[in-house]
Structure 1
Amino acid sequence: MKTLTKGRRMASARTLAGAALAGMLALSALALDVSTAAASPAPPSAGLDAGMPSDGLHPDAPVTAPDGTRIWGTREGAAPASVARAAMPNTIEIRVDGARVRSSVPNGPVVGLAYRGQTGGANCKVSSGGYTWGLVSVNGSYGWMRTDLFTIIYQSTGPWGSLPRC
């Protein structure tokens, strides 16, 4: 075994210390990248379907049924007899304030708003515009709401936690 001179021992120690410091800096940079990514703001679409729309509410707009039929007379909290509460076998609870109820998906006029903690009924779901939408009756409005804005709290149809397809 070869013995290192004092000068070589110091150089080796500096090399090891430099390598350790470089490794710590690399880990710090990686941690910074991860924490920066985690702290990124939500995408602009996250709040798109909550809150008062800039053009106001349109409670007189007809609601488009799953089969494409336009249903008139859904304002004043009364869904027409053909889509009465019996047609809403699942109970939902709203997860956000100002969840929009739309007359059609994905961009139909907003016929009403629902608020965190309110309950209502839901029938079935469709996919459109990159989201899943449930046919709901809540807070006096009948129409379509994104399913990520409510939670199913009682279900009488389909597998738990998911509405059946329309």
Structure 2
Amino acid sequence: MTLTRRHILRAAGAAALILSPLPSAGRAMGQAARSDPAAPWAEAPAAAAHPDPRIRALAWAVLAPNPHNRQPWVAELPAAAPDTVVLRCDLDRRLPVTDPFDRQITIGLGAFAELFRLAAAAQGFATTLTPFPEGEPRPRLDGRPVALLRLAPGGSPDPLFAHGPSGGR
């Protein structure tokens, strides 16, 4: 039998599989994979004791879904505006090949802002959202804010928020 390139590659692949150490199931899967995927939602209410309502709402907002699972949000809490959150995109977390115009990342940032609004309303705060307060970036997101989120007393809880922590169960 003549050895071809295909035979050599097949043998090398099989040898790599056979010779690689097999970790125990716990190490192979990792702690996070074995734990309850809803565990972060169970932890978010722990922020309820924080004195800053922005932090309490952000504890929920950071759990927002994102199309790339890249969590591209940067939330700034300006000291000069204790009722405001400045939402920016972490530009290093974009995926220019699969999302060349940042459309999907922007949708994820919108999910963040909406979950922030729902969490703030559950605390009795209304949220005013100002999209792209320094102008809309084109064709891609840049360092300017994506949104300003301002809290004011008077929000009423949205029944939708009750389904976040339980995953709709």
TM above 0.5, yes or no, is no
Q: Which has the higher strand share?
A: 1
TM-score interval, normalised by the smaller of the two chains: under 0.3
The TM-score normalised by the length of structure 1 is 0.25
Larger Rg: 1 or 2?
Answer: 1
